[in-house]
Amino acid sequence: RKEVEQDPGPFNVPEGATVAFNCTYSNSASQSFFWYRQDCRKEPKLLMSVYSSGNEDGRFTAQLNRASQYISLLIRDSKLSDSATYLCAVRTGGTSYGKLTFGQGTILTVHP
Amino acid sequence: GAVVSQHPSRVICKSGTSVKIECRSLDFQATTMFWYRQFPKQSLMLMATSNEGSKATYEQGVEKDKFLINHASLTLSTLTVTSAHPEDSSFYICSARDGAGSYNEQFFGPGTRLTVL
């Protein structure tokens, strides 16, 4: 079983739609959780960290369910510019030398 | 935000040659740097973790004699792909952790696309 798993998609949605991605992780000792956005042929960029209480940043909402070991990302009112690959990432390790493990990414295409 | 640079951004080489990729933290001291590899339509896979002044820790399945990592200073780490072969063609991305910041801060370089002919 992979440490971090995502549905690769692709998700094709019209502008204005709401879309949700899920990601599961296998290590129950994982401590930090993130969503990254990666554009084609570019490096990943941090979209948001995911906190236990859930957190929102504009049109983006991230949630963490430790009991079921999954994190989610909700994008509301999708824009064309949201088209990208969304990677979830999980950090394990109790010190500053923790390791960040990525899921394979979910491809999102927003069309007019 | 913090900036991490990589050089070169793209390299094409013949099979059997060695290629060196540099990763620099431009405005912070990186006590830890990470090297990832990403094949097309796949995720980033951690290859190794390097700490300044000590030997790198390689992930399972990554040959340390083939992928030489040097982290000689707090702002520079290098990855050398020795005797590169076509199967080594990939997108190599480094990441650096700000030693003075929150341990959750990890910044990525723009990546190096390696093509081995």
From CA B12, how far away is CA B53, in angstroms rounded?
A: 30
Nearest CA in chain B to A96: B103
Contact status, residue A89 vs residue A4, Cβ threshold 8 Å = yes
From CA A101, how far away is CA A44, in angstroms rounded?
A: 13
pLDDT at B39 (0 to 100): 93
- Return the residue matching tokens 């801060």: B105
Of B41, B45, B93, which is closest to A43 when you measure between CB atoms?
B93
Cβ separation A43–B49 shorter than 8 A = no
Within 8 A of B94 by CB-CB distance, chain A residues are none
pLDDT at B40 over 90: no
C-alpha distances (whole Å) from B110 to each of A50, A67, A94, B39 are 24, 35, 28, 15
pLDDT tens string A16-30: 999 999 999 999 988
pLDDT at A93 over 80: no
pLDDT at B99 over 70: no
Task: Say which residues have a Cβ less than 8 Å from residue B69's Cβ, sequence separation at least 6.
Answer: B35, B48, B50, B56, B77, B78, B79, B80
Interface with B, mutate which of A40, A43, A88, A100 (most B CBs under 10 A): A43
Within 8 A of A44 by CB-CB distance, chain B residues are 44, 93, 108
pLDDT tens string B59-93: 999 999 999 999 888 899 999 999 999 999 999 99
Within 8 A of B111 by CB-CB distance, chain A residues are 41-43
Q: Which of A51, A73, A52 is nearest to A62 (CA)?
A: A73
Q: What are the b/e assignments for B14-48, b being 16+ CB within 10 Å?
A: eeeeebebbbbbeebebbbbbbbbbeeeebbbbbb
